[in-house]
Amino acid sequence: MKVYIRSSAAVSPQNTFNGDNFLTEIVESTGTRLKAIDPDYKQFIDPKQIRRMSHVIKMGIAAAKSCLLQANIEQPDAIITGTAFGCMEDTVSFITRIVEGHEEMLPPTSFIQSTHNTVAAQIALILKCHNYNNTFVHKGISFESAMFDAMMMINEREADNILVGGTEEMIDTSFKVLTRLGLYKRQPVSNLSLYEGQSKGTIGGEGAVFFLVSDKASTDNLAELTGLKTLYKPASIAASIEAFLAENGSAIEDIDLIITGRNGDIKNDEIYSALGKAIFKDKPTANYKHLCGEYPTSSSFALWLAGNIVKKKTIPEVVKQGDFRSFSPKKVLIYNHYQAKYHSLMLVSAI
């Protein structure tokens, strides 16, 4: 069940948005969270509307419109997004006003924009797109669920060009709560040395990444998404990976590069270390969460990375795990898990 990625755009803590460089000008940050670099939103959104939009909405609209511009498409046949936390800024704002205002005289804007489907809805309103519009809220596999929906629509001939995105924002309130739950580190660390220490927790992140997927083969396409699979607490991830590759006519020997969701947390990375000594042994491996941080839809950044690697025929030095000679990978396997519960596999192939 393959589809073609026509274009992609990423708003992230790195210079990934509409930049000519491909992860050559890396932004280093010392702390326990990474904040997305805001593009010039006035290029994509009416300035009068910008002030009424939360951070995640602006990121999503900018990434979506940039993606469409790159593909020279004005109207997608469908808009599908994935998010785990939704519009946290508006949600917290609305709840705070409930408490402070004693449940009286509540302004409706924050409530209206606090729902998880707000980003997809705002994109549709700006584009005047009345086609299929859906948002998946499936925790650590929200983005994969959105992409899977798009792949099914394309294979069932219900749409030709579909806009698919993964969005997440990090605000102070959610960051404090997740830190107390042990997800993030308690001591500041440089994102570029995230994998050097052996300690609990990772660094928080945020971003918005969009893709335009189609069933039309073209040399102008970014890459081919050959296969996608999600798993919940699999008994054997190694066996699941081998089965996934077999389902898509491949084997581990055919994979040129593996991109993992290693995030610097000693417990989280145990799975990747075990695979590195087993089926991933001697395979060139790359990591990405030191660039975008950890968040439930960070796999969308991994797909953006994989697509650009096979299109530009180069592997950025900053993502390499260990030293290996640069080459032009044809097949890239992405394996990520979120809190050891939600696992996903994506197979990306060069055109």
Q: What is the pTM of this model?
A: 0.95
The architecture of the domain spanning 3-214 is: 3-Layer(aba) Sandwich (3.40)
Q: How far is CA 142 from the centre of its chain?
A: 10
Rounded CA separation 137/82 (Å): 6
The predicted structure's pLDDT at residue 107: 75
* Residue ranges of domains in the chain: 3-214, 224-349
Average pLDDT over residues 174-202: 94
Alpha helix ranges (H) inside 137-292: 142-155, 172-180, 237-247, 270-276, 289-292
Rounded CA separation 202/265 (Å): 5
Fold matches, 3-214 and 224-349 = yes
What digits encode the pLDDT tens for the residues 221-248? Answer: 999 999 999 999 999 999 999 999 999 9
pLDDT at residue 160 is higher than 80: yes
The predicted structure's pLDDT at residue 197: 82
Q: Which fold has domain 224-349?
A: Peroxisomal Thiolase; Chain A, domain 1 (3.40.47)
Share of the chain above pLDDT 70, in %: 100
Cβ-based neighbours of 7, under 8 Å, separated by 6 or more: 67, 68, 70, 71, 211, 212, 222
The predicted structure's pLDDT at residue 311: 96
What digits encode the pLDDT tens for the residues 64-117? Answer: 999 999 999 999 999 999 999 999 888 888 888 888 887 877 777 777 778 899
The predicted structure's pLDDT at residue 70: 96
pLDDT at residue 214 is higher than 90: yes
Q: Are 159 and 6 in contact (CB under 8 A)?
A: no
The predicted structure's pLDDT at residue 94: 84
Give the number of other Cβ atoms within 10 Å of residue 321's Cβ: 16
- Apex 140 CA angle, 135 and 146, nearest 5: 30
pLDDT at residue 314 is higher than 90: yes
Query: Would you call 254 exposed, middle or buried from its count of C-beta atoms within 10 A (0-12, 13-18, 19+)?
Result: middle
Lowest mean pLDDT among 15-24, 52-61, 119-128: 15-24
Average pLDDT over residues 309-315: 96
